[in-house]
Amino acid sequence: MYLLIASDLDGTLLLPGDTFGAFTKSVIHSLNRAGHHIVLATGRHQTDVESLLDSQSPPVHLITANGARISSACGGLSLSAELSTAVVQTLLEEARADTDLTINLYCRSGWLMSREDENLKDFSQNPDFQPTLCATENLPLQAVQKVFFFQRSKDHDALLRLQARLEQRLGDQIGTVFTFPWCLEVMARDVSKGNALKQLAEFLNVPIKACIAFGDAMNDADMLAGVGKGVLMGNAHAELRQALPEAEIIGRCTDEAVAHYLSKHLLKSADRPA
C-alpha cells in the first residue's frame, strides 16, 4: 500500500495549458478520501502552484522550486532552503558576461527575470504567475530559492560549459539540474525533490518506501529513485529513461496517465471515478 503519492506537474500530472484534467481531479479527491497523502513536487514557485488550485481542491502537500520549499497541507511543516548571498553574487557574475543568457530568480516574493525571452512561452503558460522584469544589476542577492538560466538560442552545450564553470567555482555549495536542455537550474547544496520528499515523509511519519512517485524529467530522478516505486511518463526525457532503465513506464500526460494508473492500482472499485 502506497500511503504517500508524489507527482511532478509539467509533463506529468498537468495537461497542456497548465490545467488539471477532470478525471485527474476526481481521482485526487478519491485518493484523499481514502486516506492517501498527495504531494505536488515541482520546479515551479509555490505561488505559481497555489494559483492552479482552487477552493474545491483537496488538501495537498507542496514541494516547490525543485525542493527549495516544502509546505505540508496542515501547515505544520514549512521549510525554505535559500542560496547564500555570496553564491547568488557569483552566479550573477558568471552569467552577466554571456549575452545569450536570460537570468531568472525565484525569490520569496515571486519570479524575477532579467529581460524578455521567447523561451518563456515554453516554460510557463500560467497567466496568473508571470515574471517581473528586473535589470541584471538590480537583481537581489538575498531570499533567493533558486537561480535558473535560459539559453536564448537553446544551445545545450553552452549551458554545459556554464554548469562546469559554476561547479568549479562553487563546488559543493550548489546543486544543478536541467529542466529543459536550454534551462539550467541552480539551488543550494542538497536541495532536490528527493531530499524534500524524505523530509516531508518523515514529518508525516510515512516510510519513504511507502511512497510512489511519478515524473518525466531529470529534476525528478532522485525522487523517483528513492521511493518504493518510481514511475516514468511515456513522454519522459530520454536522459531520465537512461538514468532509470528499470522503472515502469506508463502513458502520456495528455492522456491523464497518472490518474488512470492510480485509479486502477490504488483505489477500490467502488471508489473509482467513472
Residues known to be catalytic? 8
Q: Is 222 left (phi over 0), alpha (psi -120 to 50) or beta?
A: alpha
49: which residues sit within 8 A by CB, 6+ positions away?
Answer: 9, 40, 42, 62, 64
Helix, strand or coil for residue 31? helix
Q: CA 70 to CA 177: how far, in whole Å?
A: 18
Contact indicator for 65, 81 with CB cutoff of 8 Å: no
Instruction: Output phi, psi for 12, to 5 deg.
Output: -130, -75
Nearest residue to 11 (alpha-carbon basis) of 44, 55, 57? 44
Give me 77's grid cell.
Answer: 511543516
Measured from the Cβ of residue 226, the count of other Cβ atoms closer than 10 Å reads 19
